[in-house]
Amino acid sequence: MESSFIRAVVTGGASGLGRATCEEIIKRNGQVVIFDSNIELGKKTCSELGIKSHFVQVDVTSESDVDQAIEQAVENLGSINFLVNCAGIAPSQRLLGKNELMTTAQFQQAININLVGSFSVCRAAINHMQHNKVDDQGQRAVIVNTASIAAQDGQVGQAAYAASKAGIVGMMLPLAREFSRIGVRVVTVAPGLFQTPLMEKLPEKAITDLQSHIPFPKRLGRPDEFGRLVCHIYDNHMLNGELIRLDGALRM
């Protein structure tokens, strides 16, 4: 499938890695529907990206919300042949805190948004993707889910976050194998340290310290580097059932 025919849904598309992905898709003359929970930021982003973008407010933890949003995306685009799941949270909390234990509800929040949310959007999207026309290689669509290097290198305080991202990695190969019969590829990207709104909230000294652990290039990743990789995955038919670390050789 050529990039100019991209008809994409990007969750978490109003900021950070999701927005960079939307920008890259539009650069390639594709169209995108942004799913995000932040209505003000979503509308602002959509306005800045122009006529090839649409915005739908979505709570990815609500199955009915997701189902309705996918239906709306199909109405806007005609069909969906590219799904990029970027929506997520990055909680940092020790199970055995100084003053209190992490609650089960706090653990479940990360699982529900990061893992169940990604599954829920995949579930709703594949129901439409299976009816797409195939390209010259028998492909109907591509799904890219966003994990994190924490899925393999989780640090202290990342039990919930790492578990949620490891779940995304774990469901990739079964889905890639299941969807192979209908010509849909599934790939997961595990970013390292990137310039995102969350990272920008850290003190400059903390950012400098984090960068020092990255072998090369010795800097934070740029969101456009994530977006370009995601679009390459769309273009490269042999990438399937694969976890790609995008981290400058960082091992925490």
* Ranges of each domain in the chain: 3-195+223-245
Containing 166, the helix (H) or strand (E) segment is: helix 159-179
Rounded CA gap, 71 and 134, in Å? 21
3-class DSSP state for residue 244?
strand
The CATH number of domain 3-195+223-245, selected from 3.40.50.1860, 3.40.50.300, 3.40.50.720, 3.20.20.70: 3.40.50.720
Active site members? 161
Length of the chain: 252
Task: List the one residue out of 74, 29, 33, 70 whose CA is nearest residue 54.
Answer: 33
65 φ, ψ (degrees, to nearest 5): -60, -45
| Max CA separation in the chain (angstroms) | 60
pTM of the model: 0.95
**Per-residue pLDDT in tens (0 to 9) along the chain, 252 residues:** 556 599 999 999 999 999 999 999 999 999 999 999 999 999 999 999 999 999 999 999 999 999 999 999 999 999 999 999 999 999 889 999 988 999 999 999 999 999 999 999 999 999 999 999 999 999 999 999 999 999 998 889 999 999 999 999 999 999 999 999 999 999 999 999 999 887 887 788 888 888 899 999 999 999 999 999 999 999 999 999 999 999 999 997
